[in-house]
């Protein structure tokens, strides 16, 4: 990915973060909603859209598929034609893994999809086998050829029971968006339960889909003949909320987070409370306050409602300056620990053994140049830099922009010494 000229965060540590932030729409939800808009001819409106590059990449992809996309502030409108194209090329897909989410809608609507295999985030080999098996269960023929996933269902799809070996979010989404227009009933067993799935399901229901069991491991979809466009407001981003909550705890700060949905973050907030944070509900979110050095916390990531893998770097960063020893286990994505090598450059005492990271907290980290390898690693390094003595630079900042709109400005508003260059 081409780096922009403003591609580094420069941070001087030692500030206590204090003030208020507002959390925007969830990246992981909005991109899936945009892809699912393909299911209905006409104009669909999506609100509370975050100001991130991936939204523009998805807009480009939909434009190439024949849609007319308008992006105005936090509102996106997508006008979907009667006969969309069916090929998503590598030059766009490689920039954004969520491109794979056009697979289900295209097979359902036009009986054919060709989607380049995604690149994007450095998080191991998240296989597309689950997606392919799911679509095959509904009667599609799917295979990988010349770097593309090619799926065809010239006679339409037929509802069927699908059982996932792992509650994959992407596969649950693609099977769900394919099944809404299939003939008959589809069940997804061991379905993902993430809030993003519920948001996508609510979006589809507002288009006229028949779906039951959202947020549970068994989703039942009764196919309908046709869906109509809708107007939908995206849920707020629980990972951004979690990042601010960890930032408050690490810097012994006091942050009020507007738009936070604590019910989407029960386990992380429980863990922060055990680290010593004082968490209270507010009218439209939460307040996280910390007066002492955090106590070390043991965490193992699991699919929702377990501890989110996307907050793993924040946990390791907190534990790096916490009182005590901790063990953090990654059960979801295999490349998450690349982050640890960078954190060690700031003086963190972390040793990795397979899926486990063992951390001994130190009083203070020390500033150094580091590099972000993905969105969440970048955010974790910035939080670590806030509690490091002296100056830290975090390179490849564009990764962070993909998940955290206006992150530097928001940090500045909380009192951090951060610049973008």
The pairing of beta strand 210-212 with beta strand 218-222: antiparallel
In a domain, 372, yes or no: yes
Q: How confident is the model at residue 126 (pLDDT cuts 50, 70, 90)?
A: low
Segment 205-218, tens digit of pLDDT: 999 999 999 999 99
Q: How confident is the model at residue 114 (pLDDT cuts 50, 70, 90)?
A: very high
- The per-residue pLDDT for 128 is 80
- Distance of alpha carbon 162 from the chain centroid: 24
- Quick count: other Cβ atoms within 10 Å of Cβ 155? 9
Task: Look at residue 150 and tell me whether its pLDDT is greater than 70.
Answer: yes
In a domain, 45, yes or no: yes
- The per-residue pLDDT for 130 is 87
Segment 103-123 mean pLDDT: 83
Q: Specify the range with the lowest mean pLDDT, choosing from 88-97, 242-251, 378-387.
A: 88-97
The one catalytic residue in 121, 196, 199, 401 is: 121
Average pLDDT, the chain: 94
Segment 311-369, tens digit of pLDDT: 999 999 999 999 999 999 998 877 678 899 999 999 999 999 989 999 999 999 999 99
Q: Tell me, what CATH number does 346's domain have?
A: 3.65.10.10
CA within 13 Å, CB half, 192: 24
Task: Look at residue 120 and tell me whether its pLDDT is greater than 80.
Answer: no
Residue 16 burial by CB count (10 A; 0-12/13-18/19+): exposed, middle or buried?
middle
Matching residue, tokens 């029971």: 161
Assess whether 193 and 251 both reside in one domain.
no
Segment 374-403 mean pLDDT: 95
DSSP for residue 294 = P
In a domain, 1, yes or no: no
CB contact set of 225 (below 8 Å; sequence gap of 6+)? 181
Segment 59-66 mean pLDDT: 97
Assess whether 206 and 255 both reside in one domain.
no
Assess whether 311 and 191 both reside in one domain.
no
Task: Look at residue 131 and tell me whether its pLDDT is greater than 50.
Answer: yes
Strand order across the beta sheet in which 87-88 lies: 87-88, 112-116, 148-152, 141-145
DSSP for residue 25 = B
Strand-pairing partners, residue 299, are 328
DSSP for residue 307 = B
Assess whether 311 and 392 both reside in one domain.
yes
Distance CA 382, CA 314 (A): 10
**Domains in the chain, number:** 2
In a domain, 208, yes or no: yes
Whole domain around residue 74: which residue ranges? Answer: 27-233
* Listed residues 208, 233, 258: the one ending a domain: 233
The answer to whether residue 121 is catalytic is yes
Assess whether 125 and 184 both reside in one domain.
yes
DSSP for residue 122 = -
Assess whether 48 and 197 both reside in one domain.
yes
**Phi-psi region at 337: left, alpha or beta (left = phi > 0; alpha = psi -120 to 50):** alpha
- The per-residue pLDDT for 121 is 47
Task: Look at residue 18 and tell me whether its pLDDT is greater than 90.
Answer: yes
Assess whether 41 and 137 both reside in one domain.
yes
Distance CA 125, CA 127 (A): 6
In a domain, 3, yes or no: no
Segment 85-98 mean pLDDT: 88
Segment 364-390 mean pLDDT: 96
In a domain, 326, yes or no: yes
Smallest CA-to-CA distance from 396 within 416, 417, 410, 375 is with 375
Segment 282-292 mean pLDDT: 98
Strand-pairing partners, residue 76, are 46, 71
Q: How confident is the model at residue 387 (pLDDT cuts 50, 70, 90)?
A: very high
Assess whether 351 and 396 both reside in one domain.
yes
Task: Look at residue 34 and tell me whether its pLDDT is greater than 50.
Answer: yes
In a domain, 16, yes or no: yes
The alpha helices in 262-337, defined as continuous H runs, are 266-275, 312-320
Assess whether 32 and 19 both reside in one domain.
no
Q: How confident is the model at residue 1 (pLDDT cuts 50, 70, 90)?
A: very low
Assess whether 177 and 39 both reside in one domain.
yes
Q: How confident is the model at residue 127 (pLDDT cuts 50, 70, 90)?
A: low
Q: How confident is the model at residue 147 (pLDDT cuts 50, 70, 90)?
A: confident
For 48-147, strand residue ranges (E) read: 68-72, 75-80, 87-88, 112-116, 141-145
Matching residue, tokens 């989607």: 115
Task: Look at residue 125 and tell me whether its pLDDT is greater than 80.
Answer: no
Assess whether 251 and 218 both reside in one domain.
no
Assess whether 220 and 242 both reside in one domain.
no
* Listed residues 233, 264, 286: the one ending a domain: 233
Tell me the pTM. 0.92
**3-class SS at 218?**
strand
* Listed residues 207, 233, 259: the one ending a domain: 233
């Amino acid at each position: 990915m081409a780096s922009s000229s403003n591609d580094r965060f420069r941070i001087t540590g030692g500030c206590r973060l204090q003030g208020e932030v507002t959390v925007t729409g969830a990246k992981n939800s909005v991109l899936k909603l945009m892809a699912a808009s393909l299911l209905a001819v006409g104009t669909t409106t999506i609100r509370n859209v975050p100001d991130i590059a991936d939204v523009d990449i998805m807009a480009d992809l939909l434009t190439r598929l024949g849609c007319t996309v308008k992006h105005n502030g936090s509102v996106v409108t997508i006008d979907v034609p009667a006969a969309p194209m069916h090929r998503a090329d590598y030059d766009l897909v490689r920039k954004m893994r969520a491109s794979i989410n056009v697979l289900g809608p295209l097979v359902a609507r036009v009986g054919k999809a060709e989607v380049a295999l995604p690149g994007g985030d450095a998080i191991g080999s998240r296989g597309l086998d689950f997606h392919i098996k799911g679509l095959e269960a509904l009667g599609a023929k799917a295979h990988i050829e010349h770097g593309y996933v090619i799926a065809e269902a010239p006679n339409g799809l037929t509802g069927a029971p699908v059982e996932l070996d792992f509650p994959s979010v992407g596969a649950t989404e693609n099977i769900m968006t394919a099944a809404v227009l299939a003939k008959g009933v589809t069940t997804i067993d061991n379905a993902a339960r993430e809030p993003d799935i519920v948001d996508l399901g609510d979006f589809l229901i507002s288009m006229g889909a028949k779906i039951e069991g959202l947020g549970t491991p068994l989703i039942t979809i009764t196919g309908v003949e046709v869906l109509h466009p809708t107007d939908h407001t995206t849920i707020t981003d629980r990972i951004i909320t979690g990042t601010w909550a960890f930032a408050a705890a690490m810097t012994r700060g006091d942050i009020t987070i507007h738009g936070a949905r604590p019910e989407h973050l029960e386990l992380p907030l429980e863990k922060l409370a055990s680290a010593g944070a004082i968490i209270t509900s507010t009218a439209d979110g939460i307040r996280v306050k910390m007066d002492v050095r955090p106590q070390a916390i043991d965490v193992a990531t699991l699919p929702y409602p377990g501890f989110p893998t996307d907050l793993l770097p924040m946990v390791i960063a907190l534990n790096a300056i916490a009182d005590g020893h901790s063990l953090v286990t990654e059960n979801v994505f295999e490349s998450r620990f690349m982050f640890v090598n960078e954190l060690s450059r700031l003086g963190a005492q972390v040793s990795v053994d397979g899926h486990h990271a063992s951390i001994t907290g130190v009083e203070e980290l020390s500033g150094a140049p580091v590099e972000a390898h993905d969105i969440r690693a970048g955010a974790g390094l910035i939080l670590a830099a806030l509690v490091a003595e002296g100056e830290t630079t975090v390179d490849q900042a564009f990764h962070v922009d993909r998940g955290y709109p206006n992150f530097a400005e928001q940090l500045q508003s909380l009192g951090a010494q951060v610049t973008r260059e």
